[in-house]
Amino acid sequence: MTVGTDVVGDLSGREYPYGFVTELETDIVPRGINEGVIRSISAKKDEPDWLLDWRLRAYRHWVTMEEPHWQNVVHGPIDYQDISYYAAPKKQVGSSSLDEVDPELRAMFDKLGISVSEQERLSGVAVDAVVDSVSVVTTFQAKLAEAGVVFCSFSEAVRTHPDLIRPYLGSVVPYRDNFFASLNSAVFTDGSFCYVPKGVRCPMELSTYFRINAAGTGQFERTLIVAEEGASVSYLEGCSAPMRDENQLHAAVVELVAMQEAQIKYSTVQNWYPGDAEGKGGIYNFVTKRGRCAGARAKISWTQVETGSAITWKYPSVVLQGDGSIGEFYSVALTANHQQADTGTKMIHIGADTHSTIVSKAISAGYGQNTYRGLVKVLRSAQGARNHTRCDSLLIGPDCGAHTFPYVEVKQPDAQVEHEATTSKVSEEQLFYCRQRGIPEEEATSMIVNGFCREVFKQLPMEFAVEAQRLLNVSLEGAVG
Amino acid sequence: MLQIEDLHARIGDTEILRGVSLAVEAGEVHAVMGPNGAGKSTLARVLAGADGYDVAGRVLFDGDDLLGRTPEDRASAGVFLAFQHPTEIPGVANLYFLRTALNSLRRHRGLDELGPQEFLALAEERMRLVEMDRSFMHRSVNEGFSGGEKKRNEILQMAILEPTLAILDETDSGLDIDALRVVAGGVNALRSPDRAMVVITHHQQLLDHIVPDRVHVMVDGRIVRSGGRELAAELEAHGYVGLDAVSDRQGAATVGVTP
């Protein structure tokens, strides 16, 4: 099989429909990072001393660290003193009711297709909407509270539920974890907090929509989800940013804690601005996501569809501590134009009879470079541990690349670890076959690519699966022809 | 319906079709026979619009030029190729693939698209033709199909897409006798006064099941002999060997095998 040179993407026709800027009056701190900036962020959020201390410890640790360069991506130097670490729309912060939301902000979310109205289309989904550094609205809080579920912005949770935040903050991703996690710990602004009490099945899907709007800023959100014994919750996140020539940094931390027999399903559709056809601009998406199956038979499942960002660097992972706990990672990563991705997962088996499944689908088009990097680690204590990993790469055109770095460390002789990997191309023969049946070339390509991703898409909640397919099709526009 | 005039096709410096002329009328079934490497599959693929060939000559389909058009245009005009080696498309359900194909054709012809239920009813009816069960439709296109299943799937597609010209490229290859009977039964059921078929094979056996109106012998990129259905039996008895040598020396027009 040969790759068709006529399917080579110059992808310049690719559209990014969310690239607009909304004129919002914004409260923004001067660029640069130092203890003063951290104190001022903490003061703006009216935080307790223990949290400021934690931030400062993180910062003091961060200044001793070096930016990592082991990842398989290339970027120019990042000037951490040239980023503003806090930007907030001046009007209207932290409401729980639509009536209080600034009409400008509402218009922005309407344009993004995100419903911040409890009456509208996504009425089964509660939304926490984060713009730059702050949450502007969280819907359905009252309804969720009836079930005992806490769902609000992180900042609000620090004020209203410090007892729930304090024991878990940094318990899965310590502030010393890595360079970007440390930076986040020092300067994090908003994100979502979710707590599902014992035995409660969260009555609706929860979601957060992250929007970068202001220029010259980074977004450093932090999300924490705790599911108590027997609880379950499905959480979705989406995101977008304006088109700009500069690169903007997004360094988030997500921590999940699942107690005995709890289940957390975490789905991401990542559509940060990817840069233009020449690779100028775009978001650096350097994110640390990790879940801990703290109790027996807990289950954490990550599903991600990564189509945006100039560079994606993230490894949503699961620490399988409880006996019989389950970790899953389903990923689609698309790199087109000059996008780069180095993504995968870590499954750390500690408890006995822990199982993990990894399914990674990487699609490269144009000059995109796509790396799967994964670690399966089985400790001595994890008798009967099992892992199955499947990594498939699909290439569209001759100028892109796919790379796979699977690491396996097994200390328990009883463990079963399986790894399958394939690399294929959208072949001329497949395209000819579809076209011979009357299916136009662009539609045929998107059908083949969607088929390649099906195993992952079927893990997504319905609304998101449709969105993911649509995004993939938009991202591939102009990739053929 | 189909008029091929002095068709040449080459890949790089290798000329594969060296002046093929052939006329097929609606309602007719033509068999193209010949040894491996004679150019039979190339003829099929060139007619369907495959990339990678330098093509010269003229092909008219219902009076319109065919060669300048994209594969999807030709499909919309009613050309169907049953592939010798049907490709696999992982993750795309057969049902979805076929519905997309049919609706693309319908859209192109200004017809309303069929909804999932309507399409399923049509598909189930046509599946009986090739003795396929419903589970087939939910499997990925050709993925993990046996050789026989792939060929049956090609005939099913033909039954659903209802082309005016069907080109069957070695549809019998790799089939056992039962599968051959099923496939041939499907093809025969689709014979109609409005439809022409070109059946490519190098075994006479298929032609016991699908009885052609005309038989053409292709050797070294040319049609060296044409005749009625009895020509197939003759080839089975004598082989292509003599034809090969003669055609090179004397050209197609004067080739003769002793009856």
- Report the length, in residues, of chain A: 481
Residue reference for tokens 């049609």: B223
A136-162: average pLDDT: 87
Would you state the pLDDT for residue A93? 53
**CATH code of the region B2-254:** 3.40.50.300
Q: Which has the higher per-residue pLDDT, A210 or B143? A: B143
Task: Determine, for residues A433 and B91 on separate chains, whether the beta-carbon distance falls below 8 Å.
Answer: no
Chain A residues whose beta carbon lies within 8 Å of the beta carbon of residue B86: 433
How far is the CA of A396 from the CAs of A6, A199, A401, A427, A445, in angstroms?
A: 10, 47, 9, 9, 9
Q: Is the pLDDT of residue A240 over 90?
A: no
Q: What is the mean pLDDT of chain B?
A: 89
Q: Which has the higher per-residue pLDDT, A183 or A210? A: A183
Show which residues on chain B lie within 8 Å of chain A, measured between beta carbons: 48-52, 70-72, 74-76, 80-81, 83, 86-87, 89-92, 97-98, 100-102, 104-105, 108, 140, 157, 161
Instruction: Give the pLDDT confidence of A306-348 residue by residue, as tens digits.
Output: 888 889 999 999 999 999 999 999 999 999 888 999 999 999 9
Instruction: Give the pLDDT confidence of A376-409 residue by residue, as tens digits.
Output: 999 999 999 999 999 999 998 888 999 999 999 9
Query: What's the rounded Cα separation, in Å, for the pair B225 and B53?
Result: 25
State residue A6 phi and psi, 5-degree precision. Answer: -80, -5
ipTM for the predicted complex comes to 0.92
> What does the block give as tokens for B182?
């099923």
B101: nearest CB among A432, A437, A453: A437
Parallel, antiparallel or unpaired: strands A311-314 and A26-28: unpaired
Q: Which residues pair with A253 in a beta bridge?
A: A222, A288
Domain boundaries, chain A: 5-476
Element (H or E) spanning B153, and its range?
helix B147-161
Q: What is the mean pLDDT of chain A?
A: 86
Chain B residues whose beta carbon lies within 8 Å of the beta carbon of residue A447: 89, 92, 97, 100
- B88: left (phi > 0), else alpha (psi -120 to 50), else beta? beta
Task: Determine, for residues A6 and B81 on separate chains, whether the beta-carbon distance falls below 8 Å.
Answer: no
Would you state the pLDDT for residue A116? 64
pLDDT band at residue A96 under the 50/70/90 scheme: low
A59-72: average pLDDT: 93
Q: What is the CA radius of gyration of chain B?
A: 18
Query: What's the rounded Cα separation, in Å, for the pair A46 and A133?
Result: 14
Chain A residues whose beta carbon lies within 8 Å of the beta carbon of residue B156: none
How far is the CA of B123 from the CAs of A61, A340, B77, B109, B152, in angstroms?
A: 65, 43, 21, 20, 13
Least confident of A357-371, B150-164, B234-248: B234-248
Q: Is the pLDDT of residue A166 over 90?
A: yes
Chain A residues whose beta carbon lies within 8 Å of the beta carbon of residue B48: 432, 436
| Cα of A354 to nearest chain B Cα, Å | 29
Q: Which has the higher per-residue pLDDT, B66 or A248? A: B66
Q: Is the pLDDT of residue B241 over 60?
A: yes
**Residue B14 gets which letter from DSSP?**
E
Task: Determine, for residues A441 and B157 on separate chains, whether the beta-carbon distance falls below 8 Å.
Answer: no
* Residue in chain B lying closest to A430 (CA): B87
Instruction: Give the pLDDT confidence of B124-171 residue by residue, as tens digits.
Output: 999 998 888 888 888 999 999 998 899 999 999 999 999 999 999 999
Strand, helix or coil for residue A252: coil
Show which residues on chain A lie within 8 Å of chain B, measured between beta carbons: 4, 6, 427-430, 432-441, 443, 447-448, 450-455
- Report the length, in residues, of chain B: 259
pLDDT band at residue A76 under the 50/70/90 scheme: confident
Chain B residues whose beta carbon lies within 8 Å of the beta carbon of residue A443: 100, 104
Q: Which amino acid is at A474?
A: V
> What does the block give as tokens for A289?
């996501």
Residue reference for tokens 């410090």: A162
Q: Which has the higher per-residue pLDDT, B195 or A269? A: B195
Task: Determine, for residues B89 and A448 on separate chains, whether the beta-carbon distance falls below 8 Å.
Answer: yes
Neighbours of B51 (CB within 10 A): 14
Q: What angle separates helix B116-129 from helix B177-189, to the nearest 10 degrees?
A: 120
Task: Determine, for residues B92 and A447 on separate chains, whether the beta-carbon distance falls below 8 Å.
Answer: yes
Q: Give the up-direction half-sphere exposure of residue A438: CA atoms within 13 A in the CB hemisphere.
A: 25
Query: What's the rounded Cα separation, in Å, for the pair A53 and A175?
Result: 12
> What does the block give as tokens for B210?
């699908």
| Cα of A114 to nearest chain B Cα, Å | 29
Query: What's the rounded Cα separation, in Å, for the pair B222 and B203?
Result: 18
A49-59: average pLDDT: 96
Complete DSSP assignment for B24-77: E-TT-EEEEE--TTSSHHHHHHHHHT-SS-EEEEEEEETTEE-TTS-HHHHHHH
**Residue B93 gets which letter from DSSP?**
E
Task: Determine, for residues B101 and A434 on separate chains, whether the beta-carbon distance falls below 8 Å.
Answer: yes
Chain A residues whose beta carbon lies within 8 Å of the beta carbon of residue B157: 437
Task: Determine, for residues A451 and B49 on separate chains, whether the beta-carbon distance falls below 8 Å.
Answer: no
Would you state the pLDDT for residue A238? 83
| Cα of A357 to nearest chain B Cα, Å | 19
A164-194 CB burial, b ≥16 within 10 A, e <16: bbeebbbebbebebbbbbbbbbbbbbbbbbb
User: By percentage, how much of chain B surpasses pLDDT 70?
Assistant: 93
Would you state the pLDDT for residue A91? 62
Q: How many CB pairs under 8 A join A and B?
A: 79
**pTM for the whole structure:** 0.83
Task: Determine, for residues B71 and A432 on separate chains, whether the beta-carbon distance falls below 8 Å.
Answer: yes
Q: Is the pLDDT of residue A121 over 50?
A: no
Query: What's the rounded Cα separation, in Å, for the pair A446 and B154?
Result: 22
Task: Determine, for residues A436 and B161 on separate chains, whether the beta-carbon distance falls below 8 Å.
Answer: no
